[in-house]
Each structure stands twice: as C-alpha cells, then as structure tokens.
C-alpha cells in the first residue's frame, strides 16, 4: 500500500478583540498583577463576545479561513473537519458541523468534535496523520477552538486568572513526493488517576444543570493547581523526550519547542528538564493566558506568520490537560 507523508499545509488563528488585564481582574477579586505575573507569566487574556459571533464555531470560522487560504486551497477541498472544544457550541449538532456550514463547505465532508481538554488539538494531529498517510482523507482541517470564559468562574481567583479564549487551526494534507515535511513521531496518554484535579461536573448527562446546581455555584470548573502543575512538568518533559528520541533527533536538532501555554513556570521547568534553550521555545502565554486546546495551534500560527518557523524546521509540540490527558508530536514543518 502506498503511504503518504503528512504536511502542515497552512495555519490560522483567531483571538477575540476584548482584552482583560490582570488589573481588570484585581478590581473584582483579591489578586494583583504582580502575583499573577510572578506565578504564571500571564499579563492579559482575550475574552470572546457572543454578540460579535465569537462562539467556538464562530472563532473557528475565522481561523479556518486563514488556514485554508495559507494552504492555497478552497473550502470544498477540505474533506474532513476535526475540532477540539472543551465546551462546544452546544451538545448537538457538533461544533464541527456548525463550522462546516459557516465555512460554506458543500461537499458533505465528515465532521467530528473531540474533547481531550487542553490536549485536544495535539490528540487530533496523529489521528489526522494516520488518515492522510493511508490515503483515507486528503485535506483535514484540525482545529482547537476554546471559549473557556463560558465556564470560568470570574469570582474564583484560583482559576479565573489562568484562562483565555482563542482558536487555532491547521490544514493537514499530503506532502509532495519531493518534499521532506512529515510527522516523525507522536505520543498520546491519559492518566485517569489524576482526573479529579481539573473538573467541570455539572452540565453533562450525570449532573444536569438544575436550579440547585446554580444555587450551589457548581456550574464552573474546579482545579487543584499544584497537582496539575507537578503532573504537567513531568509528563510534558517525558513525552517531549520520547518523541524526539523516536524521531532520532537530538535536542540540538529541534528548531522550535511549542508547549501548551498554561503557565510560564511550567514551560520553563519543562525546558530545563529536557535541556532546550530558552530562545527555541515559543511563548505567548503572557498575551493570551491558557487557551486550552487552542494554545499550541495559535502559537504555531503566530510563529509561522512572524517568520520564526520556516519550512524544513523540526518542531516539537507538547500539551497536557484535564483527564489528565497529554501528548507530544515531533514533525518536520
């Protein structure tokens, strides 16, 4: 059977207009710009506005159009949509189906939502790679679109300072016969013994949103920050090392490390563990905070558009999130 190599054909991203600074938050909760910067590296975050169409599917439309244009394709060249959203537009139809309509795709391509929290986009890339490799699909739109502000309790200083809204998109397709682009290696895991450290239990089938839930303020996410922090550092570093080794690349062969943008201290601790120089790490957590599964594709898109990442570069990407899900990918761009 003929196998194809997978290439990132184009990327795009969308950030809502509205900026919420740390000082804005300190007017509402007992926190300060200094505390947030020292503990997280975050200066500000973006917050979506539904009245401006900034829903998960609405943000995804804008990011996807840029990715499709960068790939030199038209919307009907997309033959599958894979979309990660921790909180979708609604339970059904899936957000990817809504996106298909918003993009004006008329070829009836399959659409699928996935929830692996912050690891969602990283989870989807190896899946898209497998389908492209075998020829099952040709051009797959892989999206992370996140509206965390919809379940972020703005009165809980333990969580609300950390998150922002955004969307990142990539079109994955076949590399040409003479091109080097390929996905070398990937690893995906979930350690469910840590699943209770980051949860939103209300709103699903087991705990419907009732008046009682709302009266008890249970409609928001809850987090054990320190446990997540520790697990994030060890898991991301181990996964990054594993995929680099499987790709037979030494650390000096990696041109760019694109980690999940959760906390600058986590990013620095991971970088130190597997010895990647600071200059090779893509960071935007200061501007956008943690945008869950949008964080890696947004950082990737910005680094490509700014000219940092060039064709032929070796990229290493890693993420972790509720579950605890985690994953890493090593590829030639």
CB of 33 vs ligand UT7, minimal distance in Å:
10
Q: Order of strands, edge to edge, in the sheet holding 325-332?
A: 182-190, 325-332, 314-321, 256-259
Q: Catalytic site residues?
A: 118, 260, 290
CA distance 182 to 186: 12
CB of 30 vs ligand UT7, minimal distance in Å:
6
CB of 225 vs ligand UT7, minimal distance in Å:
3
Question: Which CB, 150 or 314, lies closer to ligand UT7?
Answer: 150
Cis peptide before 229 (omega within 30 of 0): no
Question: Which CB, 271 or 321, lies closer to ligand UT7?
Answer: 321
* 295-305 helix and 120-133 helix, angle to the nearest 10 degrees: 70
Question: Which CB, 140 or 233, lies closer to ligand UT7?
Answer: 233
Question: Which CB, 161 or 304, lies closer to ligand UT7?
Answer: 161
CA distance 235 to 217: 32
Which region holds residue 56: left if phi is over 0, alpha if psi is between -120 and 50, else beta? alpha
Residue carrying the six token digits 């390929």: 182
Stretch (H or E) spanning 189: strand 182-190
CB of 308 vs ligand UT7, minimal distance in Å:
24
CB of 84 vs ligand UT7, minimal distance in Å:
13
Which one-letter DSSP state was computed for residue 119?
G
Question: Which CB, 64 or 85, lies closer to ligand UT7?
Answer: 85
CB of 199 vs ligand UT7, minimal distance in Å:
12
Number of continuous H segments (helices) and E segments (strands) in the chain: 10, 13
Closest Cα to residue 48, out of 284, 294, 213?
A: 294
Length of the chain: 333
**Encoded tokens for 187:** 């690893």
Q: Which residues bind ligand UT7 (CB under 6 A)?
A: 31, 35, 39-40, 118, 157-158, 161, 223, 225-226, 228-229, 232, 262-263, 290, 321
Q: Give the chain's end-to-end CA distance (angstroms, integer).
A: 24
CA distance 79 to 87: 24
Question: Which CB, 183 or 318, lies closer to ligand UT7?
Answer: 318
User: From the centroid of its chain, how far is CA 333?
Assistant: 18
Residue carrying the six token digits 């956008």: 288
3-state SS, residue 97: helix
């Amino acid at each position: 059977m003929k196998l194809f190599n997978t290439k990132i054909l184009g990327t795009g991203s969308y950030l809502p207009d509205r900026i919420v600074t740390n000082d804005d938050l300190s007017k509402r909760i007992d926190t300060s710009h200094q505390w947030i910067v020292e503990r997280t590296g975050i200066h500000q975050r973006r917050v979506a506005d539904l009245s401006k169409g900034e829903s998960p599917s609405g943000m995804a439309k804008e990011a996807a159009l840029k990715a499709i244009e960068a790939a030199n394709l038209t919307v009907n060249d997309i033959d599958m949509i894979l979309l990660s959203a921790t909180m979708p537009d609604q339970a059904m139809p899936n957000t990817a189906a809504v996106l298909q309509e918003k993009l004006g795709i008329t070829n009836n391509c399959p659409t699928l939502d996935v929830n692996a929290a912050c690891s969602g986009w990283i989870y989807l890339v190896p899946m898209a790679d497998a389908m492209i490799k075998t020829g099952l699909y040709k051009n797959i739109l892989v999206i992370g679109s996140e509206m965390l502000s919809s379940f972020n309790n703005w009165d809980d200083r333990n969580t609300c300072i950390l998150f922002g809204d955004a969307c990142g998109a990539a079109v994955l397709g076949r590399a040409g016969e003479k091109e080097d682009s390929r996905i070398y290696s990937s690893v995906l895991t979930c350690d469910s013994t840590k699943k209770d450290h980051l949860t939103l239990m209300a709103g699903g089938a087991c705990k419907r949103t009732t008046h009682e839930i709302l009266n008890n303020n249970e409609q928001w996410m809850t987090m054990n920050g320190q446990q997540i922090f520790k697990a994030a550092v060890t898991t991301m570093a181990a996964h990054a090392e594993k995929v680099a080794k499987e790709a037979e690349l030494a650390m000096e062969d990696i041109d760019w490390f694109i980690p999940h943008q959760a906390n600058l201290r986590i990013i620095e601790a991971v970088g130190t563990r597997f010895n990647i120089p600071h200059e090779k790490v893509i960071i935007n957590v200061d501007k956008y905070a943690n945008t869950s599964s949008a964080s890696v594709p947004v950082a990737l898109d910005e680094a490509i558009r700014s000219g940092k990442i060039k064709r032929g570069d070796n990229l290493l990407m890693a993420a972790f999130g509720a579950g605890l899900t985690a994953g890493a990918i090593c590829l030639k761009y």
